[in-house]
Amino acid sequence: MHDESALIGLARQKSRKAFTRLYELHVESLFRFLHKFSSNDIELEEWVQRAFIKAFRSIDSFDGRSRFGSWLFRIAINEMKSDRRRLRQLEEMPEELAGESNIDDDFAWRSTMDVLLNELSEQKRMVFILFEVEGYSHAEIAAMLEIHEGTSRSLLMRAKQELKKKWTAEVQ
Q: How do residues 117-148 score in pLDDT, each as one tens digit?
A: 778 898 998 898 888 878 888 998 998 888 99
Per-domain boundaries in the chain: 27-108, 109-172
Q: Which CATH architecture has domain 27-108?
A: Orthogonal Bundle (1.10)
Q: How confident is the model at residue 105 (pLDDT cuts 50, 70, 90)?
A: very low
Instruction: List helix spans (H) across 36-148.
Output: 41-57, 68-91, 95-98, 112-119, 122-128, 138-145
Q: How confident is the model at residue 91 (pLDDT cuts 50, 70, 90)?
A: low
| pLDDT on residue 99 | 45
Q: Which CATH architecture has domain 109-172?
A: Orthogonal Bundle (1.10)
The one-letter amino acid at 118: N
Residue 14 CB partners (closer than 8 Å, separation 6+): none
pTM to 2 decimals? 0.61
| pLDDT on residue 112 | 65
78 pLDDT above the threshold of 90: no
CA distance 59 to 16: 13
| pLDDT on residue 147 | 92
